[in-house]
């Protein structure tokens, strides 16, 4: 296996936009009684801008994931989306966010199946021997349904927050067209899709079985995905949280097509696709659990097989209200939440220092800070939100930053000391709590 040796990349330190400086000043007052939490917030809130964001000469923005010199569509959005609420009156922030949206549009035009891209067409790849249709722009070509949803999420939220429409050029519309085409194709993966992915001499979760096409699935109306938001291969290829996200994205795309592009035919096409996906989720994605009642499965194949678990990455079952599929008080979501925050979930861990959701992507017993942040963001009560904040504050191994996974018995045993997405999600939670006045 010829895996690329991670190079060092130069990311010039950006001057923080004024709106971001104001938030940090606000934190000095509102978090004054919690000096450690204030220290963490001051580190984590600007971390994406200070360490991973590069303004390009073509007007776009390139955002590395942190300790890997490539840009994930998903990660780059989650790294920067906590800045969107402050962009309306800050031209510097608008330049950064709109530039990222434009770069997403460019990348989707290059390959809508890829999950991660290079800064230039430099032929850098995570594994040079991956058996798939690679491009010199593509770092990794794992088709993850959620990746394209994040592009839509950022553009939609930016539009709604600022009212600006300069991002909606012809290239962005072509990206929307490519997204719909891929999703329609992947509704019938084995009949219509040419996508395949194989990696050799690697863990089983890094490649697709069945000659790279994945395990068999039945038609459900949902969209097939090769890989999960963790970059791990799906067991059963209809990932329910990702399909929920796609349904929400299609609703947002219809607004864009209707009010910006005035393309009613495109609106109707997306409406039918959204209806297919939502019908498939309710018909095939709900499992009647003997203890918890009706819950959402994590994955299904449409043949009556279910994967019952949750993973720490977004979208997850825990994050259903966050991605906008349903309200936090929805009964099936609440049943699902009780299941995934119990030992019935094979990736829920309890230890001497913490309890929470981990991932097959990291060793057993490792809890993800992102899962704790998401549990706080989606909490129905202020008490649970504060409980998650206390846990996050106590498990940073005194680094002042969030990590990927940490051992439930010993937070000083952790993975990825530089993981900007985790820092950003933590910052979202803390700012929400600051606004609510519960800290």
Question: Residue 416 — very low, low, confident or very high, per pLDDT cuts 50/70/90?
Answer: confident
**Measured between alpha carbons, how far is 151 from 155 in angstroms, rounded to an integer?**
6
**What's the pLDDT score for residue 8?**
65
Cβ contact 72:138 at 8 Å: no
- Residue-wise pLDDT for 257-278, tens only, equals 999 999 999 999 999 999 999 9
**What's the pLDDT score for residue 218?**
98
Cβ contact 249:153 at 8 Å: yes
| Encoded tokens for 37 | 């939490």
- Helix, strand, coil percentages for the chain (3-state, nearest 5): 45, 10, 45
**What's the pLDDT score for residue 345?**
98
The mean pLDDT of the chain is 96
**What's the pLDDT score for residue 3?**
43
User: What are residue 350's DSSP bridge partners?
Assistant: 355
- Residue-wise pLDDT for 120-155, tens only, equals 999 999 998 999 999 999 999 999 999 999 999 999
- Residue 5 clears pLDDT 80, i.e. is over it: no
Cβ contact 53:75 at 8 Å: no
Kindly state the average pLDDT of the residues 239-252: 98
Nearest C-alpha neighbor of 230 from the set 310, 151, 287 = 310
User: What are residue 356's DSSP bridge partners?
Assistant: 349
| Encoded tokens for 235 | 């067991």
Nearest C-alpha neighbor of 345 from the set 353, 331, 355 = 355
**Measured between alpha carbons, how far is 357 from 22 in angstroms, rounded to an integer?**
33
Cβ contact 217:302 at 8 Å: yes
| Encoded tokens for 372 | 């704790």
Question: Residue 14 — very low, low, confident or very high, per pLDDT cuts 50/70/90?
Answer: confident
- Residue 4 clears pLDDT 70, i.e. is over it: no
- Residue-wise pLDDT for 103-125, tens only, equals 999 999 999 999 999 999 999 99
**Measured between alpha carbons, how far is 438 from 385 in angstroms, rounded to an integer?**
9
Place of tokens 């929920």: 244
| Encoded tokens for 260 | 């910006």
| Phi and psi torsions of 145, nearest 5° | -50, -40
**What's the pLDDT score for residue 9?**
67
162-176 burial, b if ≥16 CB within 10 A, otherwise e?
A: beeeebbeeebbebb
In which element (H, E) is residue 377 found? helix 369-377
DSSP helix/strand/coil, 307: strand
Residue with the larger pLDDT of the pair 11 and 198: 198
Nearest-5° angle of CA 360, CA 322, CA 309?
25
Kindly state the average pLDDT of the residues 30-52: 97
For the chain, the residue count is 439
**What's the pLDDT score for residue 11?**
81
Cβ contact 312:371 at 8 Å: yes
> What are the start-end ranges of the H helices in 163-235?
170-187, 189-192
**What's the pLDDT score for residue 418?**
84
In the chain, count of helices (H) and strands (E)?
A: 15, 14
**What's the pLDDT score for residue 30?**
97
Kindly state the average pLDDT of the residues 25-43: 97
**What's the pLDDT score for residue 2?**
39
Kindly state the average pLDDT of the residues 89-95: 97
Q: What is the dihedral of CA 432, 435, 438, 439, to 10 degrees?
A: 80
- Residue-wise pLDDT for 46-63, tens only, equals 999 999 999 999 999 999
| Encoded tokens for 177 | 């067209």
Residues 6+ apart with CB under 8 A from 264: 257, 258
| Phi and psi torsions of 300, nearest 5° | -150, 165
Question: Residue 12 — very low, low, confident or very high, per pLDDT cuts 50/70/90?
Answer: confident
Nearest C-alpha neighbor of 372 from the set 344, 353, 346, 399 = 353
- Residue 354 clears pLDDT 50, i.e. is over it: yes
Radius of gyration of the chain (CA): 21
**Measured between alpha carbons, how far is 131 from 202 in angstroms, rounded to an integer?**
13
Instruction: Give me the domains of the chain, ranges plus CATH numbers.
Output: 16-45+347-439 (no CATH), 58-345 (1.50.10.10)
């Amino acid at each position: 296996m010829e895996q690329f040796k991670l190079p060092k990349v130069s990311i010039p330190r950006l001057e923080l936009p004024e709106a971001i400086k104001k938030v940090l000043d606000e934190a000095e007052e509102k978090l004054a009684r919690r000096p450690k939490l204030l220290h963490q917030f001051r580190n984590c809130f600007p971390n994406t801008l200070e360490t991973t964001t590069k303004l390009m000469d073509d007007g776009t923005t390139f955002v590395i994931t942190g300790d890997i010199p490539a840009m994930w569509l998903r990660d780059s959005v989650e790294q920067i989306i906590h800045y969107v609420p402050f962009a309306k009156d800050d031209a510097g922030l608008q330049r950064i966010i709109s530039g990222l949206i434009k770069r997403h549009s460019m990348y989707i035009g290059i390959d809508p199946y890829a999950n991660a891209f290079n800064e230039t067409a430099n032929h850098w790849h995570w594994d040079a021997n991956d058996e798939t249709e690679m491009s010199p722009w593509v770092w990794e070509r794992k088709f993850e349904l959620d990746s394209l949803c994040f592009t839509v999420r950022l553009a939609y939220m930016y539009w709604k927050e600022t009212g600006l429409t300069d991002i909606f050029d012809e290239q962005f519309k072509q990206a929307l067209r490519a997204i719909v085409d891929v999703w329609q194709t992947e509704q019938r993966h084995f009949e219509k899709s040419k996508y395949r992915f194989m990696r050799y001499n690697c863990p089983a979760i890094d490649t697709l079985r069945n000659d790279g096409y994945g395990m068999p699935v039945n038609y459900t109306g949902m969209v097939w995905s090769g890989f999960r938001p963790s970059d791990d291969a799906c067991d059963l290829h209809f990932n329910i949280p990702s399909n929920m996200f796609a349904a929400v994205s299609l609703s947002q795309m219809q607004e864009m097509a209707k009010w910006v592009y005035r393309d009613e035919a495109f609106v109707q096409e997306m409406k039918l696709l959204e209806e297919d996906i939502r019908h498939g989720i309710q018909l095939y994605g709900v499992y009647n659990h003997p203890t918890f009642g009706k819950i959402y499965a994590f994955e299904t194949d449409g043949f009556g097989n279910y994967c019952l678990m949750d993973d720490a990455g977004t979208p997850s079952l825990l994050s259903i209200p966050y991605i906008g599929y349903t309200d936090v008080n929805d009964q099936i979501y609440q049943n699902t939440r009780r299941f995934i925050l119990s030992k019935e979930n094979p990736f829920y861990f309890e230890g001497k220092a913490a309890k929470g959701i981990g991932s097959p992507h990291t060793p057993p017993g490792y809890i993800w800070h992102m899962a704790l942040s998401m549990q706080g963001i989606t909490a129905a009560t202020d008490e649970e939100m504060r409980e998650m904040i206390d846990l996050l504050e106590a498990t940073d191994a005194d680094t002042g930053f969030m990590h990927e996974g940490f051992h439930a018995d010993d937070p000083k045993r952790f993975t990825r000391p530089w993981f900007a997405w985790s820092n950003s999600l933590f910052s979202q939670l803390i700012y929400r709590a600051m606004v609510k006045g519960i800290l």
